[in-house]
C-alpha cells in the first residue's frame, strides 16, 4: 500500500495585503473539518477562516474533529486563517480544485503558530474501521494488526492500517515496533477495536515527559 506523505503547509509570517474579489462572480468555497495534535495540551486556538464575506469563526479542538465548516477562498485557491482582531492571515492553506469537499485539516504546533496537514479522506481511500497513523517520532515504525502484514511508516510520514473484512465490530491484537539502530524493538502491544462505523486518526509520538512512545487519537463517525 502506498504510504501517504505528511504534506505540511508553511506558516506565513508576512503576506501581501489581501484584496477583496471584485470580479462579480461568487467566490470559490471549501468544506472542511479541523482537529489538532498538541502534546503540550495548550488551550484551543481561535481563528477566523476564509475570505471577505465568506468567513467562519472556529476553535481548533484537540480531542475530536469539528465541522464541517464552509469558507470562501482567496484568489480561488487560498484558505486564510486569521487570529481574532488581526487583518492579515497568520496561516494560508492552498486548496486545489479536487480538495474542496471532504477535507480534514490537522493543526500541529510550530513555535508560536501552526503547521497544517491536509487529508483528503476520499482520496486516501480511508474506509470505516481503518486507521490513518501519523509517525511523529524520529524513527521508523511498523504496525501489525491481527494476522495482516505489518505496515511500515517512516518518520514524519503516515500510513493506513486497514480494517479486516467484515461488517461487524472486531477486536484484534496489535503490535507496534520501532527501529533502534539495526534492531526492531517492541514498544507497544494492545487490542484495537475495528468498528466500520468509524475511521480513526492516530498520532504516535515520543512523550516529552518520559521519552516513551505515546498515542493520541481522534475518531470520525461515518
Full pLDDT tens readout for the chain, 222 residues? 444 544 444 333 333 333 434 444 567 899 999 999 998 889 999 999 998 877 899 999 999 999 999 999 999 999 999 998 898 999 999 999 989 988 999 999 988 899 999 988 665 578 889 999 999 999 999 999 999 999 999 998 999 999 988 888 999 999 999 999 999 999 999 999 999 999 999 999 988 888 888 999 999 888
Which residue shows C-alpha cell 494560508?
A: 92
CB-CB neighbours of 126 under 10 Å = 23
Q: Half-sphere exposure (CA, 13 Å, Cβ side) for 150?
A: 15
Which residue shows C-alpha cell 515504525?
A: 141
Give the three cell numbers for residue 119: 487529508
Contact predicate 118/47, CB 8 Å: no
Give the three cell numbers for residue 29: 468555497
The pLDDT tens digits for 2-61 are 445 444 443 333 333 334 344 445 678 999 999 999 988 899 999 999 988 778 999 999
Helix (H, G, I), strand (E, B) or coil at 37: coil
Strand partners, 173: 191
Question: In whole angstroms, what is the distance from residue 204 CA to residue 208 CA?
Answer: 13
User: What is the distance between the terminal CA atoms of the chain, rounded to a whole angstrom?
Assistant: 23
Q: What is the DSSP code (8-state) at residue 75?
A: T
**Residue 222 C-alpha from the chain's centroid:** 17
Give the three cell numbers for residue 102: 471532504
Please list the helix, strand and coil fractions of the chain in percent, rounded to the nearest 5, in that order. Answer: 0, 50, 45
Amino acid at each position: 500500500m502506498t504510504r501517504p506523505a505528511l504534506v505540511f503547509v508553511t506558516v506565513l509570517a508576512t503576506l501581501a495585503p489581501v484584496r477583496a474579489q471584485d470580479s462579480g462572480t461568487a467566490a470559490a468555497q471549501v468544506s472542511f473539518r479541523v482537529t489538532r495534535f498538541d502534546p503540550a495540551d495548550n488551550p484551543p486556538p481561535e481563528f477566523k477562516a476564509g475570505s471577505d464575506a465568506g468567513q467562519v469563526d472556529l476553535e481548533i479542538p484537540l480531542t475530536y474533529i469539528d465541522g464541517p465548516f464552509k469558507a470562501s477562498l482567496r484568489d480561488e485557491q487560498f484558505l486564510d486563517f486569521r487570529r481574532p482582531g488581526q487583518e492579515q492571515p497568520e496561516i494560508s492553506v492552498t486548496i486545489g480544485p479536487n480538495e474542496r469537499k471532504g477535507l480534514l485539516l490537522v493543526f500541529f504546533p510550530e513555535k508560536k503558530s501552526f503547521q497544517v496537514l491536509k487529508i483528503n479522506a476520499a482520496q486516501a481511500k480511508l474506509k470505516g474501521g481503518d486507521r490513518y497513523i501519523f509517525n511523529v517520532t524520529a524513527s521508523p515504525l511498523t504496525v501489525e494488526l491481527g494476522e495482516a502484514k505489518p505496515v511500515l511508516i517512516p518518520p514524519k510520514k503516515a500510513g493506513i492500517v486497514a480494517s479486516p473484512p467484515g461488517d461487524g465490530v472486531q477486536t484484534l491484537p496489535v503490535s507496534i515496533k520501532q527501529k533502534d539502530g539495526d534492531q526492531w524493538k517492541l514498544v507497544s502491544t494492545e487490542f484495537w477495536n475495528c468498528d466500520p462505523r468509524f475511521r480513526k486518526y492516530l498520532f504516535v509520538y515520543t512523550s516529552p515527559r518520559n521519552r516513551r512512545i505515546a498515542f493520541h487519537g481522534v475518531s470520525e463517525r461515518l
